[in-house]
């Protein structure tokens, strides 16, 4: 079946540091890829997405590129802020029926210190 493997956390960075959270996937088809973010005490919300190879998703200074050849979707941000402290989940979903059934990674907790 499908699976998502994320870089283990927790990750602690100083403000304005560069962030990379690695994500690789295994899928039988040609999935869509997502990064969701969960702020303390809240549900998950979409951060960015990509639907085909070489697509770059971006939002709030975060970026991730769909790399089919390496089956990866690494999340990056050039300069993190304290407000970016959250749990980040990489996920994929198939394009067939019940395409909304998503497979999630285990989540990576990011703490940004002033």
Partner 1 sequence: NAGVTQTPKFQVLKTGQSMTLQCAQDMNHNSMYWYRQDPGMGLRLIYYSASEGTTDKGEVPNGYNVSRLNKREFSLRLESAAPSQTSVYFCASTDDRTSGANVLTFGAGSRLTVL
Structure tokens, 20: 């990379």
* Footprint of partner 1 on 24-53 (CB under 8 A): 32, 34, 36, 41-46, 49-51
Q: Does 82 bind partner 1 (CB under 8 A)?
A: no
Cα–Cα distance between 114 and 111 in angstroms, integer?
10
In angstroms, what is the minimal distance from the CB of 42 to partner 1? 6
| Short-list 4, 2, 1, 16, CA closest to 107 | 4
Stretch touching partner 1 by CB under 8 A, among 18-26, 67-75, 76-84, 93-101: 93-101
Q: Which is nearer to partner 1, 19 or 33 (CB)?
A: 33
Smallest distance, partner 1 to C-beta of residue 49, A: 5
Residues in the chain: 114
- Give the binding site for partner 1 (CB under 8 A): 4, 32, 34, 36, 41-46, 49-51, 89, 93, 95, 97-102, 104-107
């Amino acid at each position: 079946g499908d699976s998502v493997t994320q870089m283990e956390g927790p990750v602690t960075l100083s403000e304005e540091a560069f962030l990379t959270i690695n994500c690789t996937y295994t899928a039988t088809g040609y999935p869509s890829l997502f990064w969701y973010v969960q702020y303390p005490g809240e549900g998950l919300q979409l951060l960015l997405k990509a639907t085909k190879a070489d697509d770059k998703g971006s939002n709030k200074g975060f970026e991730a590129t769909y790399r089919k050849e390496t089956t990866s979707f690494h999340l990056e941000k050039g300069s993190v802020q304290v407000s970016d402290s959250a749990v980040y989940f990489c996920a994929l979903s198939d394009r067939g029926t019940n395409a909304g059934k998503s497979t999630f990674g285990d989540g990576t907790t990011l703490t940004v210190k002033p």
